Every structure is written in C-alpha cells, then in structure tokens.
C-alpha cells in the first residue's frame, strides 16, 4: 500500500518513513501542506499521515482542502496537542483518526492497519486466494501451508493484487503502489517481479496464481 507522510520535522519524517518501509509500505514524504497537495493531486495514495503544526499550510487546512476537492483518502493527523478541542477540530476537518506525539511506533502501525481496512478492501488481516495466504500483520506468505520467501517488492506486489482479487490491475497501478513518484514508469521491472512471483506461486494444477490479461494488466482469482 502507498502512504503519503506530511511532516515538517525532517527527523520525524525520516523515522516514520523508515519504519513504515520496514513494514513493507511504499512511502512518499512532503515537508508542508502545500507540498502534500502537489503530491496528492498527482498520485494515488491509500493513506495520508499528516502533522498538524506545519508552515505554509497546516494539517487541518490541508485536510479541508482535499475534502473540498472530493479526495476521500483516509487521513491520520499527528500533533503534540492533546486537548479534546484540538482533537474535535481535527476530526471535524475531515480527518479519520488522530495520534498524539510522542507515540509508539506499534500504535502508529496499528492505526495505519485499521485505517487501511476500508470498504474497498478485505477487513481481515489474512488475504486469501485458493491455497495462497498472506498475513498482513506477520508479513508471512504461505502456499498450501508451506512458507514462501518473498522479497519486500514481491510481497508488496502480491499484497496489492490480493487486495484487488478478481480485478484486473494495470502495470501503472502496480507501479504507483509499490514505488515512489520518482520511479521511471517506462522500465519493465514490474514484469520481472511478476515473473519471479509466478515461479514461486503455482497452484497444484501447475497453473500460476497470477494471470496476465493481455493489454490490460494482471489479476489473481479465487
């Protein structure tokens, strides 16, 4: 899944980015609300994590602006303020959740997982297709009860395909959700990873779980 982090304190932004990348999320970073707007209007994100106190445009102004323009991406606000009034202001602006600094990284990741369980995605922590299972918490993949070792990029691609099970996912969509906005979309790296995944994930009938829909993209079906 792809997350936008908006945080003006670069050490905090780096901490969040590094930690979430270790949890196998794709992360873009902006250092104020205006930079965040540029990215959210240019890219598709599954979640936004935004500080409130920032220069140029604060987090509440940012949320109001994207909601006014019809962007319904879940938003988790971060702030040092712990008053009920401040929390109400943040939630009334259109944010979905609120986390007070300092916070434990375990709590942050738990909030992230909860916000990603939206109506468009399965609610459980286990994604399944036939004998294939992906555990979102343990970051573990099994095929007919045998562990499958994947690289972080292979895992991210498989997770996105399973979240969109029975739908066709284009190469562009996969690139958007696995890489940051600096990535060269003209390369064939996605095709390379798909081939590697196919070699690791084959059902008992010898048919790969990942199917190619010519001219459209890839899909995993039950």
Q: Where in the sequence of the chain do the CATH 1.10.10.10 domains occur?
A: 126-220
Q: Fold for domain 2-116? A: Rossmann fold (3.40.50)
Classify each residue of 148-163 as buried b or exposed e, where b means 16 or more C-beta atoms within 10 Å of its C-beta: bebeebbbbbbbbbbb
Q: Fold for domain 126-220? A: Arc Repressor Mutant, subunit A (1.10.10)
Low-confidence ranges of the chain (pLDDT < 50): 119
Q: What is the pLDDT of residues 53-87, one digit of tens each?
A: 888 888 999 999 999 998 989 999 998 766 666 66
0.75 surpassed by pTM: no
Is residue 54 within 8 Å of residue 33, measured between CB atoms?
yes
Question: CA angle 54-56-57, nearest 5°?
Answer: 65
């Amino acid at each position: 899944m792809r997350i936008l982090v908006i945080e003006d304190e670069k050490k905090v932004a780096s901490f969040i980015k590094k930690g979430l990348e270790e949890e196998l999320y794709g992360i873009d970073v902006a250092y104020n609300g205006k930079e965040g707007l540029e990215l959210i209007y240019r890219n598709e994100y599954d979640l936004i994590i935004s500080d409130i106190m920032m220069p140029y445009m604060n987090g509440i102004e940012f949320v109001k602006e994207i909601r006014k323009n019809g962007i319904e991406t879940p938003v988790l606000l971060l702030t040092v303020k712990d008053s009920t009034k401040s929390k109400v202001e943040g939630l009334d602006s259109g944010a979905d959740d609120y986390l007070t600094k300092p916070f434990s990284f375990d709590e942050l990741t738990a909030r992230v997982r909860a916000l990603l369980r939206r109506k468009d995605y399965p609610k459980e922590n286990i994604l399944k297709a036939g004998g294939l299972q992906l555990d979102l918490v343990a970051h573990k993949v099994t095929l007919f009860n045998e562990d499958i070792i994947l690289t972080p990029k292979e895992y991210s691609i498989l997770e996105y395909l399973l979240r969109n099970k029975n739908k066709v996912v284009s190469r562009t969509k996969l690139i958007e959700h696995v890489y940051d906005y600096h990535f060269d979309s003209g390369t064939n790296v996605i095709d390379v990873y798909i081939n590697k995944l196919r070699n690791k994930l084959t059902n008992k009938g010898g048919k790969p779980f990942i199917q190619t829909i010519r001219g459209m993209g890839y899909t995993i079906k039950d």
